[in-house]
Amino acid sequence: MKDVIDSRRPLFSIKFVESALPWLPESVEVVPSGTGKTFLDCLKIELESILLEYPIVQQHPYVDLFLKILYRDEQSDATPGVYTVFDLRNRIGNLSILNDDERRAVVDGLNNIVAKIREEGRGDVFRKQLKRYWRPAAENYRSLIALVRAIQARYHHLLILRLDLSYMKVHRASISYTEARRHRIAFRRYVKRCKRLKGAYLGDALKLEYGVDMGLHYHALVFVNGDKLHGDVDLARALGEHWKSNITAGRGNYFNCNSQSYGKLRGIGSVRYHDEQTRHNLETRVAAYITKPDFYIRSVKRDEDHTFWTSQPHKDEPIGRGRRRGKIDALAASSNNPLPLGTRCKPRLSEHSREFAMHAPGTSVAVSA
């Protein structure tokens, strides 16, 4: 839906195809654009069946807009020239037996639907609705980027651990919101105090989300001093196993992102100060994904509760002048790259670093909901 709203050109057109027999006239063929093909795939999805099993899906703004336009009641809202999803499925499914005029009508009908979606999606009401989700996401993103850059300014080699902390499928329905919050507190306390990370823990960030299938779950980042510890895969696995077996009493599950190979898209694991590509991936892919808008969490949380938490790094002993960095710091290059989520300004590293000096080790900061 977002791609449809953002598109400018017609998504459907007609093409004249010459007949194999010279005495027969040309025929008309319906030609969708790339976004048009995706839109046709969406029409095939029986959303009405999904809503019966997962009614929460309608809380997603784009799904709600799709329902409003394509699943409307024709008796109460008979918009001329704008088909319903059932009309479109029937006509598209029978394209091969439609005549040329009927195919032209299908193209007109599809483009009318697209025009209606663009009109509604670009309107003030819908944009205001989206802003409720994107504004806190952008605030959380800025906070995480400031944390990342402040740690990297102090430590030249990081191990970044990335975990998805969830619950076993059989237990998801029984895990309450209050219990999930207790698990989060216990996990962060363990990360800060566990012997394996002693003297190497630098900070963490956690985001609570609610998924249609996954239920309540967390995305976690843990920052470790790479000069003191190595083996990010094993470290992340140890944290995940503690979540699974101890914190959730065997009801939890986890995914160790560090065990995956992301190639040139890697933004976790060993990250050195001069590694421009990895640092760029960390900021534009990893951080952006963790802080992305969650359209369903509001259905289970209290309005005043936060869903994103970052910690402050340890107050280390004062760092001496030491050896100068032999390679160019990649921060300058990262600062020049555009950041996602529509951030209006880039984090002010020096200010954030000054704040770190004012907090005790492990002090957590709850950011936006």
Of 61, 96, 122, the one marking the end of a domain is 122
Same domain (yes/no): 75, 188: no
Same domain (yes/no): 137, 86: no
Instruction: For the beta carbon of residue 125, count every other beta carbon within 10 angstroms.
Output: 7
Same domain (yes/no): 139, 117: no
Domains in the chain, number: 2
For tokens 């976690």, the residue is 220
The H or E element spanning position 309 is strand 308-311
In the numeric block, which tokens belong to residue 140?
A: 């959380």
Q: DSSP for 71-129?
A: S--TTT---TT---HHHHHHHHHTGGG--HHHHHHHHHHHHHHHHHHHHHHTSHHHHHH
The answer as to whether 128 is a domain residue is no
Q: Structural domain of residue 227, as residue ranges?
A: 133-366
Same domain (yes/no): 107, 163: no
Of 122, 146, 181, the one marking the end of a domain is 122
Same domain (yes/no): 115, 144: no
Same domain (yes/no): 357, 214: yes
Of 101, 122, 143, the one marking the end of a domain is 122
Same domain (yes/no): 229, 318: yes
Nearest to 191 by CA among 311, 61, 14, 352: 311
Terminal-residue alpha carbon distance, the chain:
25
Same domain (yes/no): 181, 281: yes
Give strand pairing partners of 167: 252
Same domain (yes/no): 331, 362: yes
**How do the pLDDT tens digits run along the chain, 369 residues long?**
889 999 999 999 988 777 666 656 667 788 899 999 999 999 888 888 899 888 889 899 999 999 988 887 766 555 665 778 888 888 888 888 888 888 888 899 899 999 999 999 999 999 999 999 999 999 999 999 999 999 999 999 999 999 999 999 999 999 999 999 999 999 999 999 999 999 999 999 999 999 988 999 999 999 999 999 999 999 999 999 999 999 999 999 999 999 998 888 999 999 998 889 999 999 999 999 999 999 999 989 888 899 999 987 555 544 444 455 555 555 555 555 555 655 444 444 334 333 333 333 344 445 555
The answer as to whether 127 is a domain residue is no
Same domain (yes/no): 46, 167: no
In the numeric block, which tokens belong to residue 157?
A: 């080699």
Prediction pTM value: 0.78
